[in-house]
Structure 1
Amino acid sequence: MNFLTKTINSTIGSLTGSSIPYDLGQRVVNGVCSDSLEPNSVWNVYEATSRKEPRVRVTVFEFDLKNPRASKYVLFARNAFMKLKSLSLLPGILNIVDFIENDSFLYIISERVKPLGSVLRMGSSDSMSQYELLLLGIYQVTEALKYLNKEGSSIHGSLSKNSIFVNEAGEWKLGGFELVVNIQDPDTEILSRAFDLPTYLSTIHPPELNEQRLDYISSASLVQLLKLDAYDLGVFIYSVFNSEVQNLDPTKLNKPSKLPRSLASHVKKLLHISPSVRYSVEEFLNAGMQSCFNLPLISVSKHVSELRLKSTAEKLEIFNSLDELEQLPDGFFEYKILPELISTFQSLSTNQDSQQSALLLLILKRVDQLDKRTFQHQVKPLVLRAFELPDRAIRITLLSSLPTIIDYFAPYEIQDKIFPNLVQGFNDTNSSIREATLKSVLSIADRVSVRQLNNDILKYMAKLQNDSTPEIRTNTIICLSKIATYMTPSSRAAVLATAYSKALKDPFVPSRVSSLLAFENSIEYFTPDVCCSKVLSAIAPALLDKSSKVRIEAQRVFDLYFSKINEAANHLPLDSEETVNLESQNSENILSRLNTLSLSSMKLKNTQSLLSGLGSNAHSGSTVSLTMKQENPSSESLNADRSLKNFSTANVEDGWNEMDSDWDSTSDYQSKSLLPHLEASQKLQESKQLKAAHQLIKDIPQTPKRPLKLQPKSKLKLDLLDDDVDGWANEW
């Protein structure tokens, strides 16, 4: 049973092409072996991929030898199979990867290509750049046909849009070798059956061939035979610029129609009725190089095809010429230029004469023209390696291109491979590197980890706010305001307020203006409380800034925040009527007490200050007593000292203590009814104290006045005598 299953699968595989090491995909051309009612080729053409290397994309031309409908086309298929084997190495010919033949099928495996007709429909345009792309394609076909005629000593015999294919590099390649014969020994059997080919009857051919058929081929010279392809080339060019016309009219070929003026006169000579007057393909190519083919795009294309023979300096000159081109064919850069750029970059060991950085810039400038798959496998490894190189020119190139290439990298690649190398630029001594590194933060802020953003990047930005270059300080604030949305919410407001406030003190005017704009852009991150406590106090000094521009911006931003505060205040609840009345009553009580006590408090304070001269504390009284005892140890002195001491401690000191206790007591200030009694009590106490003081002074015995003597052992070094007491009495 297993044997039968394997046999059936093998048979089906041989019929569907699965016996070859390629997986067939979409069919792009319907051949004579298909179910199409109007086949336009001998071959069924498929997109395919290699089983051994899935990334290798190819095109498979398949011919079924066992199909009854294909029997009359076997001769053409085998002719093409054999001719491509011998002629495919010529420039401009379809690039063949492999040939496979078995009992049932013929396979021609080429580079991945598309039929020209489908490409023209996709790129139909009347713009000048489109004309140049068409001229480039015509130049490539003309050059391939010239090599086939001259170096290959062959004629194509069936040149048309159906025999031209476009590869992934956008190059037009010559195929359709079913009628190719050697001009030295033309195969008359093939040529005699030319009208059996699909679409051959719908194509316009040279008039001499239509009239004489095989007789002309057998009698014509080599030059005349080659001019058969020249006429077909003229028809082909006309059809390219009039791709919307399905069936060409031979009578209208001499009319310029949509042909460019520089090309029309040459095409007219290609289509001349007389073979002797008609251009050969080589003559047309030479004439066109002086006129219609004299274009920068064609010049670059020629040089690129010769890159492997050029030195590094010459390659760089060719690569730099790409900047002069408005448009390149689809895929031309990706498949034709990029491999050479990468190969040249990797061949250089250092960035001598900035060659590596120039190559890297050319690669990164056109990443938008690359397929994502191509970037992943070819460009990404190169970029990651370049970030590790300690060269400033390369680092500047990478940082300036980061916004355009960052989407091609996964977050883990940015965090683990790019970020550690990128942040080293913050500490670079070159200001351009620091500034470029700062700007690159905008591209990676949403892709780095929380720790990398809120710890590492903010730490470096805080340092850059003190940078000696004012432009870097300004850009730091701008960058900070743009990445604020990715910062940790718990610390964001504090960080922004601190950084913006510091920038408002920067002597560089643009830095202060940027800070105000940053405050404006970050208003959503500040709560109303923070707006009141931190933001307005930071912006307010800028209202009187020396720069009028700063003042204008400060006023606008200040009003913006003030409006936010007012709006928040309007949403706060109103106090109840009972609370309002109670607070009003308390306020009135406080004001009333202050107005009533102001004069009496002042008077009492003055009285206390006078009494203090008589010894308002125990220490003063004891000092006087000690001094007098040393000078006159009589009983009278002792009595006087005792009397003065008693007065000082009993009367005066007790009175200040009572006043202090009254000031500190809040209950007395709560009642208006106690105020009159308090005043009367204070006045009575003041009068008693004054009388007692005068009486004590009179009772003190008078002693002779003595001069002041220094007391070596006395701490105060001062002797207070009776006349001093009289002096404080007279002053009182």
Structure 2
Amino acid sequence: MWFFARDPVRDFPFELSPELPEGGPPGPWVLHRGRKKATGSPVSIFVYDVKPGVEEQTQVAKAAFKRLKTLRHPNILAYIDGLETDRCLHIVTEAVTPLGAYLKARAEAGDLRELELSWGLHQIVKALSFLVNDCSLIHNNVCMAAVFVDRAGEWKLGGLDYMYSAQGNGGGPSRKGIPELEQYDPPELADGSGRAVREKWSADMWRLGCLIWEVFNGPLPRAAALRNPGKIPKSLVPHYCELVGANPKVRPNPARFLQNCRAPGGFMNNRFVETNLFLEEIQIKEPAEKQKFFQELSKSLDSFPEDFCRHKVLPQLLTAFEFGSAGAVVLTPLFKVGKFLGAVEYQRKIIPVVVKMFSSTDRAMRIRLLQQMEQFIQYLDEPTVNTQIFPHVVHGFLDTNPAIREQTVKSMLLLAPKLNETNLNVELMKHFARLQAKDEQGPIRCNTTVCLGKIGSYLSAGTRHRVLTSAFSRATKDPFAPSRVAGVLGFAATHNLYSMNDCAHKILPVLCSLTVDPERSVRDQAFKAIRSFLSKLESVSEDPTQLAEAEKDVHAASSPGMGGAAASWAGWAVTGVSSLTSKLIRAHPTAAPAETNVPQRPVPEGHWETQEESKDAEEDSTAADRWDDEDWGSLEEAESVLAQQDNWSTGGQASWAGQTSNPGHKSQESDWSSWEAEDAWEQGWQEPSPPEPPPEGTRLASEYNWGGPEPSDKGDPFAALSVRREAGAQPRRDSWGDDNWEGLEAESRQAKAELARKKREERKREMEAKRAEKKTAKGPMKLGTRKLD
């Protein structure tokens, strides 16, 4: 049945690549690239073709086949499979590249570093130490052609053709006829006798010195060139000289050579080698040691080779999270290494881990995920976001830790473009309504308003009409000044989503009420927004044909194309407020949160970002009439102005509390918890009542450039004017400013005091007149009568 015999080469589960061979170790072996037929994974295949008349060489090749198959060590070429027939020998190993080709490619790319070389030589010396000290084997073929590099940059020792036992009486296989190997023989073997007194490792250590010379200087032309160290680093030169010394007795053992190079100041004493050694033993390290290692790892990744990060660090990070107790500390280095991955590889390796992390109950992990979401959001598809990530993220809105609530709000800028109809227009709006209405932290309320303005274009037309006007109107009544600024800028950012009727009847009245706000930045932004809305209404009034163009976006569907822009604004949208809050914490560390004062955050300052916006608050007068995305960006200027004010005006805050009397922040709490059913966004805002007419004879407020009302005036701008008029005070005709505001308050207090004094004097005169009348009517006092007054 010979005709049923199958070709073993054809049935071999690996196939050679059609590319040209890459060479191989000295001798008959040829290195080919290959792949596994079942999976397509890359491998390297060493091929030896059996030829007649070279039986001795064939025996050497078969001995190398056997040695590689039985030796297992991390620094020795890893055997995967093999094929032995009468015509050929195939040895399948991990995918590797010859060291000479690898160093040439790295040098041409300008990315070859001494860190890589120090760790590579460390691996080769460690392999020699294993062979000599643990296995009593002499490699007998150490040279650059016998060293290979895998995809992670790890150096592997191969070329086991001429290996022999150190316990035997004779030497290894003959290497005659191969001149490229003879130049690596030590001087004591030059005569061919091999009987010089030496240690068993002496010859291999001489060849190690030749390898070191070639790594730094290129191919070795002749043995005499070893006398000149060339480009060998100074820290390695003394140890190199010991290796190429003429006396074989003084050449160090591989283990002692490693110890010498790892001494303080040695060539192999660096962060890269220490990291690799820790990763090799990470399974037996204590949890505390792993935590410290991962915390410090991200600082060093920038100086490490990219291939090393992708193929060695990344698997260890994934393993540490999957099976260890590393926790949130692996996130920073994990995302840093993820930058080196392609889209497909990132989707396959990182995303499953990220999805699993979101389900964790560890607060530290959750907040780090939210902080670094920008690094992986582009790799998440919409089904994954809506079904596996958003249900876990949404719990952050209810967290008792303000830092997590704040980061959850920030993350919505990135998640909103990928949310479906229900999650975006129903679920998310419920949480935003509750945060803006009930959260005790002013910065979180402000961030909620900012985020709503950013994602407004994603909302459905019906939700936009019901939500935006009410939400921004409520923000303008917030006691936290940046929240009021955010409300004004929210109107500006979403100006194209309102009808002309809404602009005239709902938005402008709200903005006009802010023109007497205690904070200068709020007033400035309100005036700019008013001018812009009026300009829009005026243009439509002059040319009614523009009405359709002006309201084209009011009933339009959501625009997912804006996602990139909204995500790019996330940084400034919240950083200024967080830094401002840090200032408030430092200025008032013991103040309790209250709705009538600026709310203080009851968390350590380190929980919040301390990065501060340093942009100038210069304003372009022509920019007020432009309706584009830059109008929304002016919130950054307003925040920077507020951030520069180290001390808040107590009188201003109290005045604001007196004006608002807190109707829009707490009165509708129960309605906001079920806004979808009861239309609470609409209920959260009431049309402002018109101001009462001034007393007869009082001058108009426009004639006075006063800075603001007193806290006791209950928000009536005419009360202070009446008091001043009765007291005979002269109106001040200067501009809006904090100095004038404070001066006006001082004058108003003086006027009140003067008026009270006059009333007391008048009352006293009236009492004296009454007494006089009584005394005259009753006549003179009788004896024994007691004077009652």
What TM-score, normalized to structure 2? 0.61
CA contact (8 A) 1:80 1:178 kept: yes
Which structure's relative contact order is higher, taking Cα pairs within 8 Å and 6+ residues apart? 2
Cα deviations across residues 60-90 of structure 1 (Å, max 9, x unaligned)? 323243467997853442232122233x323
Q: Which amino acid aligns with 1:231?
A: W
Alignment pair present for 1:546 and 2:518? yes
- Separation in 1 of the partners of 2:90 and 2:174? 23
5+ residue gaps, structure 1, are 33-37, 575-732
SS in 1 for 2:121: helix
CA contact (8 A) 2:396 2:408 kept: yes
* Inter-CA distance 64–233: structure 2 relative to 1 (3 Å threshold): closer
Alignment pair present for 1:510 and 2:482? yes
CA contact (8 A) 1:46 1:61 kept: yes
Q: Which amino acid aligns with 1:49?
A: K
Match for residue 453 of structure 2? 481
SS in 2 for 1:446: helix
* Inter-CA distance 129–46: structure 2 relative to 1 (3 Å threshold): closer
**Structure 1 vs Structure 2: percent identity of aligned residues?**
29
Match for residue 269 of structure 1? 242
Which of 126, 131, 152 pairs up with 2:135? 152
Alignment of structure 1 residues 187-202 onto 2, 5 Å: 188=171, 190-193=173-176, 195=178, 200=181
Alignment pair present for 1:452 and 2:435? no
1:164 Cα deviation from its structure 2 partner: 1.9
Match for residue 123 of structure 2? 140
Alignment pair present for 1:123 and 2:123? no
Match for residue 384 of structure 2? 413
1:573 Cα deviation from its structure 2 partner: 6.3
Number of positions where the alignment pairs a residue of Structure 1 with one of Structure 2: 541
- Separation in 1 of the partners of 2:339 and 2:349? 14
CA contact (8 A) 1:29 1:40 kept: no
Q: Which amino acid aligns with 1:550?
A: V
* Inter-CA distance 289–548: structure 2 relative to 1 (3 Å threshold): same
Match for residue 164 of structure 2? 181
- Separation in 2 of the partners of 1:569 and 1:271? 94
Which of 258, 268, 271 pairs up with 1:285? 258
* Inter-CA distance 493–31: structure 2 relative to 1 (3 Å threshold): same
Match for residue 170 of structure 1? 153
Cα deviations across residues 185-238 of structure 1 (Å, max 9, x unaligned)? 377573333616xx547xx524516732x32xx313452x52332233233223
Cα deviations across residues 285-328 of structure 1 (Å, max 9, x unaligned)? 22101111111221221122122333433433443342342433
SS in 1 for 2:201: helix
SS in 2 for 1:205: coil
Match for residue 13 of structure 2? 21
Match for residue 699 of structure 2? none
Q: Which amino acid aligns with 1:286?
A: Q
Alignment pair present for 1:78 and 2:62? yes
* Inter-CA distance 340–553: structure 2 relative to 1 (3 Å threshold): same
* Inter-CA distance 127–280: structure 2 relative to 1 (3 Å threshold): farther
* Inter-CA distance 39–127: structure 2 relative to 1 (3 Å threshold): closer
- Separation in 2 of the partners of 1:260 and 1:570? 80
- Separation in 2 of the partners of 1:456 and 1:477? 16
Cα deviations across residues 357-414 of structure 1 (Å, max 9, x unaligned)? 3355654553334566665555444433333333433322333333323333332122
Alignment pair present for 1:61 and 2:51? no
Q: Which has the larger radius of gyration?
A: 1
- Separation in 2 of the partners of 1:464 and 1:289? 57
Cα deviations across residues 678-706 of structure 1 (Å, max 9, x unaligned)? xxxxxxxxxxxxxxxxxxxxxxxxxxxxx
Alignment pair present for 1:424 and 2:404? no
Match for residue 711 of structure 1? none
Match for residue 395 of structure 1? 366
CA contact (8 A) 1:154 1:181 kept: yes
5+ residue gaps, structure 2, are 547-789
- Separation in 2 of the partners of 1:108 and 1:102? 12
- Separation in 2 of the partners of 1:121 and 1:537? 73
Match for residue 588 of structure 1? none
- Separation in 1 of the partners of 2:132 and 2:305? 27
Match for residue 184 of structure 2? 205
SS in 2 for 1:30: coil
- Separation in 1 of the partners of 2:414 and 2:465? 22
Q: Which moved more, 1:489-498 or 1:106-115?
A: 489-498
CA contact (8 A) 1:399 1:440 kept: yes
Cα deviations across residues 593-644 of structure 1 (Å, max 9, x unaligned)? xxxxxxxxxxxxxxxxxxxxxxxxxxxxxxxxxxxxxxxxxxxxxxxxxxxx
Q: Which amino acid aligns with 1:454?
A: N
SS in 2 for 1:512: helix
SS in 2 for 1:299: helix
CA contact (8 A) 2:106 2:112 kept: no
Alignment pair present for 1:302 and 2:289? no
* Inter-CA distance 428–321: structure 2 relative to 1 (3 Å threshold): closer
* Inter-CA distance 265–71: structure 2 relative to 1 (3 Å threshold): same
**Greater helix share, 1 or 2?**
1
* Inter-CA distance 159–479: structure 2 relative to 1 (3 Å threshold): farther
Alignment of structure 1 residues 208-219 onto 2, 5 Å: 208=187, 211-212=190-191, 214-215=192-193, 218-219=194-195
* Inter-CA distance 464–65: structure 2 relative to 1 (3 Å threshold): same
Cα deviations across residues 655-684 of structure 1 (Å, max 9, x unaligned)? xxxxxxxxxxxxxxxxxxxxxxxxxxxxxx
Match for residue 48 of structure 1? 35
Alignment pair present for 1:220 and 2:196? yes
Q: Which moved more, 1:496-505 or 1:269-278?
A: 269-278
Which of 54, 79, 95 pairs up with 1:112? 95
- Separation in 2 of the partners of 1:248 and 1:569? 90
* Inter-CA distance 452–320: structure 2 relative to 1 (3 Å threshold): same
What is the root-mean-square deviation of aligned Cα atoms in Å? Answer: 3.7
- Separation in 1 of the partners of 2:520 and 2:43? 70
1:488 Cα deviation from its structure 2 partner: 2.4
1:91 Cα deviation from its structure 2 partner: 4.2
Q: Which moved more, 1:298-307 or 1:155-164?
A: 155-164
Alignment of structure 1 residues 311-460 onto 2, 5 Å: 311-326=286-301, 327-347=303-323, 355-359=326-330, 363-370=334-341, 376=347, 379-460=350-431
CA contact (8 A) 2:188 2:196 kept: no
* Inter-CA distance 541–19: structure 2 relative to 1 (3 Å threshold): same
- Separation in 2 of the partners of 1:417 and 1:378? 17
CA contact (8 A) 1:513 1:553 kept: yes
What TM-score, normalized to structure 1? 0.65
SS in 2 for 1:303: helix
- Separation in 2 of the partners of 1:45 and 1:128? 26
* Inter-CA distance 250–510: structure 2 relative to 1 (3 Å threshold): farther
SS in 1 for 2:432: helix
- Separation in 1 of the partners of 2:416 and 2:18? 42
- Separation in 1 of the partners of 2:223 and 2:531? 79
- Separation in 2 of the partners of 1:426 and 1:568? 41
CA contact (8 A) 2:476 2:483 kept: yes
- Separation in 2 of the partners of 1:72 and 1:484? 81
Which of 205, 214, 239 pairs up with 2:214? 239
SS in 2 for 1:144: helix
- Separation in 1 of the partners of 2:156 and 2:256? 20
- Separation in 1 of the partners of 2:222 and 2:503? 80
